Amino acid sequence: MSLLTFFRKSSAPVARERLQVLLAHERLITGKSDLIATLQEEILAVIAKHVAVDRDKVQIKLDRGATVSMLEIDIEVPAAVAVEPKLEPERETEDAA
Amino acid sequence: MAQVLVVTSGKGGVGKTTSTAALGAALAKNGQSVVVVDFDVGLRNLDLVMGAERRVVFDLINVVQGDAKLQQALIRDKRADNLFLLPASQTRDKDALTEAGVKVVIDQLRDKFDWVICDSPAGIERGATLAMRFADMALVVTNPEVSSVRDSDRIIGILDSKTEKAERGERMEKHLLLTRYDAARAARGEMLKTEDVLEILSIPLLGIIPESQDVLRASNMGSPVTLNSKTSVAARAYYDAAKRLRGETVVMSFPKEKRSFMGKLFGRRVA
């Protein structure tokens, strides 16, 4: 073992720690990905009934803590023009048909 | 009762095909009848590693689609009588495999062999999920390296959700095969240790295959390392792993690679 390697900090513990942090996070996400996708679709559908929103402006996150879990829903609603609900005569005729 | 074993990893290049060939040959040498099945449609390589590339006439897809009988597609190994290869197609694409078709073939193989070893393609796409779909147990091949460990973790999740066994509510039996392990580097803190990988993935260890030049030499020759250089450290580790697959208890020894004086002096290292 040369002097150089003797003084170099070992990298394996860094790898181990990075993996532990990353996988703790990823296991939650992949385990719950179906739930998140379903929530996203359904929430989007409810909002779209009343407000025209951009699909990409709806963010849904689920954080699982030891004691508390948090469902975070972040919806960016466009400026006043679009907030007017699209009412509704045409829709009703559609429904009737 | 036949065992269907899938050899999988998520990441490519970690040693799935090498391990499939080596374990298949080791089991066959110990009297088991074995078929190794290549699921890597379009990028088949098990035939090459087994040295049977010029003997392929029919393949898995021909059998799945009914163009050939299973017997016509199976290639008997010339070095071990009870070792067979079912090659993948090189020209078709993975969509040619259907779940129902694969099931029929696997069921036929179950009747004929003690071990059906499915060599999975890399990735988590259709080919990989079909390779594991009807497995009784899984071998997760992992290198002591961050990207491989991460992908193995992902594959373990998929084994626990997308296999037929998991969907029946049964527990999928999974084992870790740690390949390309360099004990000296791990001891110096330059490589994840076996304990680190086991703690992170938390599945039982089937074997540790040391980094060895004999593995490349064997694939150059078109022979599983367990047939090509039976006494090499890698081959001995595969023979031990094969015994553990059969339920024997074998102490997890760690044979050291012999290094020449000049090798030690110049610290040769081949990737």
Task: List, as one string, the DSSP characters of B157-195.
Answer: HHHHHHSHHHHTTPPPEEEEEEEEE-HHHHHTTSS--HH
The mean pLDDT value for A1-18 works out to: 77
Pairing verdict, β B205-210 and A69-75: unpaired
Summary mean pLDDT of chain A: 73
Q: How far apart are the C-alpha atoms of B63 and B72, rounded to whole Å?
A: 9
Length of chain B: 271
Interface list for chain B against chain A, based on CB atoms closer than 8 Å:
145-146, 149-150, 153-154, 157, 186, 188-193, 196, 200
Assign A49 a pLDDT band (cuts: 50, 70, 90). confident
Domain ranges of chain A: 10-75
Angle subtended at Cα A36 by Cα A34 and Cα A37, rounded to the nearest 5 degrees:
65
Q: How far is CA A71 from the centre of its chain?
A: 9
Q: How far apart are the C-alpha atoms of B205 and B175, rounded to whole Å?
A: 6
Instruction: For B76-132, write each residue's pLDDT tens digit.
Output: 999 998 999 999 998 887 788 999 999 999 999 999 999 999 999 999 999 999 999
Strand order in the sheet with B75-76: B75-76, B83-86, B34-38, B115-119, B3-8, B137-142, B173-181, B205-210
pLDDT at residue A96 above 70? Answer: no
pLDDT of B143: 97
| pTM value surpassing 0.80 | no
Assign A31 a pLDDT band (cuts: 50, 70, 90). low
Query: In a mutagenesis test of the A interface, which of B146, B152, B158 is the best target, namely the one with the most A β-carbons within 10 Å?
Result: B146
Element (H, E) at B116: strand B115-119
Find the residue in A nearest to B151 (Cα): A23
The Cβ of residue A73 has, within 10 Å, a number of other Cβ atoms equal to 13
> Which fold would CATH assign to domain A10-75?
Cell Cycle; Chain A (3.30.1070)
Q: Which of B146, B150, B188 sits opposite A10 (nearest CB)?
A: B188
pLDDT of A93: 47
Q: How far is CA A93 from CA A82, A87, B219, in A?
A: 22, 12, 70
% pLDDT > 70, chain A: 62
Angle subtended at Cα B172 by Cα B145 and Cα B85, rounded to the nearest 5 degrees:
75
pLDDT at residue A78 above 80? Answer: no
Minimum distance, in Å, between the CA of residue A16 and any CA atom of chain B: 7
Query: In a mutagenesis test of the B interface, which of A3, A19, A22 is the best target, namely the one with the most B β-carbons within 10 Å?
Result: A19
pLDDT at residue B266 above 60? Answer: no
% pLDDT > 90, chain B: 88
pLDDT at residue B257 above 60? Answer: no
Assign A97 a pLDDT band (cuts: 50, 70, 90). very low
pLDDT of A66: 67
Assign B258 a pLDDT band (cuts: 50, 70, 90). low
Residues in chain B with CB shorter than 8 Å from the CB of A31 are: 157
Q: Which of A12, A23, A26 sits opposite B196 (nearest CB)?
A: A12
The mean pLDDT value for B18-31 works out to: 97
A31 CB contacts (<8 Å, ≥6 apart)? B157
Assign A33 a pLDDT band (cuts: 50, 70, 90). low
Q: What is the DSSP letter of B267?
A: T
Instruction: For B178-199, write each residue's pLDDT tens digit.
Output: 999 999 999 999 999 999 999 9
Cross-chain residue pair B146–A15, CB shorter than 8 Å: yes
A46 CB contacts (<8 Å, ≥6 apart)? none
The mean pLDDT value for B32-52 works out to: 96
Q: Which two tokens stand for residue B186?
A: 């791990």
Summary mean pLDDT of chain B: 92
Torsions phi, psi for B171 (to 5 deg): -85, 130
